[in-house]
Amino acid sequence: MPKRSKVKPGSRTGLRRSLFTIPPTDTPKVSVIIPVVNERRTLGAVIRQAALAHPSTEVIVVANGSTDGSAELAERMGARVLRYAQPLGHDVGRSIGARAARGEVLLFTDGDIVIAAKDLAAMTNAVIAGADVALNQYLGPTGLMHVHGVVLAKHALNLMVGDAVNTGASLTTIPHAMSRRARDIIGCENLAVPPKAQTIAAFHGLQVRAAHYVEVGRRNRRRARGRVRGVDPLERLIIGDHLEALAWHVAQTDVRGRLTDGGRSRESVC
């Protein structure tokens, strides 16, 4: 009797035999957008969970600057792959994927954090139920003596644009989802600056809802990269995005961004 060959979990042969394939559809209800830069190690699991978020789903992988076979893996699994030779950044990747999306709901996640299908489905279901934009309820650590600058920026911007209900919930945090209508009102190009996109949504009166909690802080390894003498360049970049969003809001409203002057009597100073 011939012996069965044993395949080690995670081996290339085992991957080919057990590879999950996305069911094809010409009219997807949900488009999942995943920007990817050399994330083959986790990408297969990310795509599998994304495809299970809704019965009618297309998965769009924006492979930018990838050289590790991420794009080829995504194609074998049935994803639509948009290839760019140079790294574009995750936010630009999301804006490109959003423009290509065919679904009524756009769901955004990353290629290096595996999020369960049930958590992704909670985001899409919030949009299907009527929300224009569904945000992750994760706010980051807030009960600290020294709160991270990005966490402070999220809370401050939401207060400035009149969205105190969502406190620090933000489009800078994955996963999040939005309707096709919201995408068109915000503009795909503005999705490249997530705080600005969220500010535009609030300005136009779109229903922005912190819909579901997914703990992504401990799994986000990108924040540890690139520190120089204790300075996090990503922190500076994201805070800069919030300042750009605030500048847009002031330009559309007034110098105080629609906030009152409180009890000040400035005329008395003159």
Band of pLDDT at residue 262, cut at 50, 70 and 90: low
CB contact at 8 A, 91 and 192: yes
Q: Is residue 156 part of a domain?
A: yes
Q: Is residue 4 part of a domain?
A: no
CA torsion 75-106-168-116 (nearest 10°) is -50
The tokens for 106 are: 């756009």
105-108 and 80-84 beta bridge pairing: unpaired
Which of 164, 16, 36 minimizes the C-alpha distance to 97?
36
Q: Which residues pair with 82 in a beta bridge?
A: 62
Give SS3 for 83: strand
Q: Is residue 17 part of a domain?
A: no
Q: How many CB atoms lie within 10 A of CB 239?
A: 19
What are the backbone angles phi and psi of residue 136, rounded to the nearest 5°? Answer: -75, 135
CB contact at 8 A, 105 and 127: yes
Q: Is residue 102 part of a domain?
A: yes
Q: In total, how many domains does the chain have?
A: 1
Domain extent at residue 66: 22-216+226-257
Band of pLDDT at residue 217, cut at 50, 70 and 90: confident
Q: Which CATH number goes with the domain that contains 128?
A: 3.90.550.10
Band of pLDDT at residue 18, cut at 50, 70 and 90: low
pLDDT tens string 96-155: 999 999 999 999 999 999 999 999 999 999 999 999 999 999 988 777 778 888 999 999
Q: How many CB atoms lie within 10 A of CB 236?
A: 12
Q: Is residue 13 part of a domain?
A: no
Q: CB within 8 A of 187, min separation 6: which ones?
A: 197, 200
